[in-house]
Amino acid sequence: MQANEFVPRPKVEGCRQEWGMKMTDRFRRIYAKIDLDAIRKNVENMKAKLVPGTGMMAVIKADGYGHGAAPIAGELEPLPEIWGFGVATAEEAFALREAGIKKPILVLGYTFPHSYERMIREEVRFTVFRNDTLLQLSQIGGELAGKGVFQKAMVHIKVDTGMSRIGVGADGGGLDFVRKALETDGISVEGIFTHMARADEEDKSSAKKQIALFDDFLGRIEKETGHKIPVRHCANSAGIFELPEAGFDLVRAGIALYGLWPSQEMSRETMHLTPALSFYSTIVYVKEIEAGTPVSYGGTFVAPKRMRVATVPVGYGDGYPRSLSGKGFVLVCGKKAPILGRVCMDQFMIDVTEILEAREGEQVTLIGRDGGEQITMELLGDMSGRFNYEFACDLGKRVPRIYIKEGKVCSISDGCQYF
Ligand SMILES: *Cc1c(COP(=O)(O)O)cnc(C)c1O
């Protein structure tokens, strides 16, 4: 039986391939579009919230929350308000240096000693909170000096004010650590920071307590060491929106760069954000099934009537969550098409019974707008029971990224390579 025989194929105006670029077949299966203009606009909107003179660190760990760290850093580096970049690992920092990024890069977590020499040479900033790190950095500094390289390890001291993750206490022990860092040869204390655990909640009392603790500790450092550490920072995205007193010298903007909200509890009135990422595929097969026909693994969905079913060649191998099985929907020709049965590793099925214009080759929007409908990452997070941050980070290596600047394609990454 030829599937296409009974698929109605009315010609409908308005069904379209998106945005002018002639897409090669290479990107028909799947691609993510990342709008660098949206990211710049989000930076501008956040900047408007800051006390003038406050810098911004763009947090682009986990490959820019799945959006691609290098092209985003390249886009943001020239902006005067961008102090530099925050990443999670030394490898992420090196990749940015390899991509030609010159501004400061801070590794926000602990780094292991095998990276120290290269970090010092490439001026990647360390987050420090352990005594042994100070000692190791000083030793490596000595060794480098022996080789004629007189570079200091630039460090930011991490203070724990309520997250209980990493950091020295905002107390006498913490002060001893700061003193030691200031006195150790080969180390230059550029910054000091803390991180808020609950800035994204409606009730800001816990966040405010952390800010006050940090502020007091900074005062104590100045008083007792006579030294003012130049780059003091505290705020994450949620802090930027709703806690102006957390600005200090620098804020650390992560999730909001990408136009995503830190949590459901945050008021949508405080900030205008434009989501940067949209995510597309193409229908590769359309067929009709009879009532009683099961769909996908486990037969969890059984057609209650004769239905038109389309197959989308995307699955959890691309980072599209399996937990959307039987719950999520995508957009086809500006309409919602529900997911039928389980999402497989590389494919899933959708109901297009009511979308007669949907046919093979038609665009499928997994995240983004199509006509009057929109699927946001927050909505996908809700439907799949996952956190929106997690969804962005998990977008797979198999997904090519297409970068848009001033409305035009400016670069493309196939997951491993930019070209
Ligand atoms: C990830 C991270 C941020 C960014 O947080 P968002 O909520 O994404 O803005 C800021 N600071 C530190 C230490 C982080 O680890």
Give 220-237 as a 3 state SS string. HHHHHHCCCCCEEECCCH
- Going from the C-alpha of 379 to that of each of 3, 188, 279, 344, 345, the distances in angstroms are 33, 45, 14, 21, 21
CB 23 within 8 A of CB 30: no
CB 163 within 8 A of CB 154: no
The DSSP bridge pattern shows strands 187-193 and 231-233 to be: parallel
Q: Is 260 exposed, middle or buried (0-12, 13-18, 19+ CB in 10 A)?
A: buried
Tokens of 302: 């059984």
Candidate of 157, 195, 260 to mutate for ligand 1, largest count of ligand atoms within 8 Å of Cβ = 195
CB 218 within 8 A of CB 192: yes
Atom of ligand 1 nearest to the CA of 199: 7
Per-residue model confidence as pLDDT tens digits over 237-274: 999 999 999 999 999 999 999 999 999 888 888 889 99
Catalytic residues: 61, 297
Which residue's CA is minimally distant from atom 6 of ligand 1?
254
- Taking the centre of ligand 1 as the mean of its atom positions, its distance from the CA of residue 318, in whole angstroms, is 25
Say what the pLDDT of residue 257 is: 98
Tokens of 20: 């002018």
Positive or negative, the CA dihedral 365, 369, 371, 372 is: positive
- Beta-bridge mates of residue 189: 155
- Taking the centre of ligand 1 as the mean of its atom positions, its distance from the CA of residue 280, in whole angstroms, is 28
Say what the pLDDT of residue 407 is: 87
- Taking the centre of ligand 1 as the mean of its atom positions, its distance from the CA of residue 408, in whole angstroms, is 30
| Residue 305: DSSP 8-state | S
Positive or negative, the CA dihedral 42, 33, 342, 335 is: positive
Number of alpha carbons in the 13 Å side-chain half-sphere of residue 244? 10
Tokens of 77: 């580096």
Tokens of 63: 């490959």
CA 127, 130, 131, 136: dihedral to nearest 10 degrees? -60
Whether pLDDT at 187 is above 80:
yes
Which residue has 């049965």 as its token pair? 341
CB 249 within 8 A of CB 270: no
Say what the pLDDT of residue 60 is: 98
Ligand 1, CB within 6 Å, residue ranges: 59, 61, 108, 195, 236-237, 252-256, 262
Positive or negative, the CA dihedral 41, 29, 64, 77 is: negative
- d(CA 25, CA 229) in angstroms, rounded, equals 54
Atom of ligand 1 nearest to the CA of 88: 15
Which residue's CA is minimally distant from atom 15 of ligand 1?
108
- d(CA 221, CA 213) in angstroms, rounded, equals 12
What length does the chain have?
419
In the predicted model, what is the mean pLDDT of residues 227-235? 97
Per-residue model confidence as pLDDT tens digits over 327-336: 999 999 999 9
Candidate of 59, 83, 196 to mutate for ligand 1, largest count of ligand atoms within 8 Å of Cβ = 59
Say what the pLDDT of residue 224 is: 96
- Going from the C-alpha of 190 to that of each of 98, 109, 232, 264, the distances in angstroms are 23, 16, 9, 35
Residue 17 — pLDDT band, cuts 50, 70, 90?
very low
- Taking the centre of ligand 1 as the mean of its atom positions, its distance from the CA of residue 235, in whole angstroms, is 8
Whether pLDDT at 11 is above 80:
no
Please state the separation of Cα 4 from the chain's center in Å.
41
Say what the pLDDT of residue 286 is: 98
In the predicted model, what is the mean pLDDT of residues 109-137? 98
Tokens of 395: 């977008």
The single-letter code of the amino acid at 287 is: K
The least confident of 4-8, 91-95, 112-116, 179-183 is: 4-8
CB 158 within 8 A of CB 214: no
In the predicted model, what is the mean pLDDT of residues 62-80? 96
- d(CA 210, CA 269) in angstroms, rounded, equals 24
**Structure pTM?**
0.92
- d(CA 412, CA 418) in angstroms, rounded, equals 6
CB 248 within 8 A of CB 211: no
| pLDDT mean across residues, the chain | 92
Helix, strand and coil content of the chain, in percent to the nearest 5, comes to 30, 25, 40
All residues at 6 or more sequence positions from 44 whose CB lies less than 8 Å from its CB, including other chains: none
Atom of ligand 1 nearest to the CA of 193: 13
Please state, as a whole number, how many other Cβ atoms lie within 10 Å of the Cβ of residue 135: 12
Angle, vertex CA 76, rays to CA 74 and CA 78, nearest 5:
85
Angle, vertex CA 311, rays to CA 376 and CA 345, nearest 5:
75
CB 299 within 8 A of CB 389: no
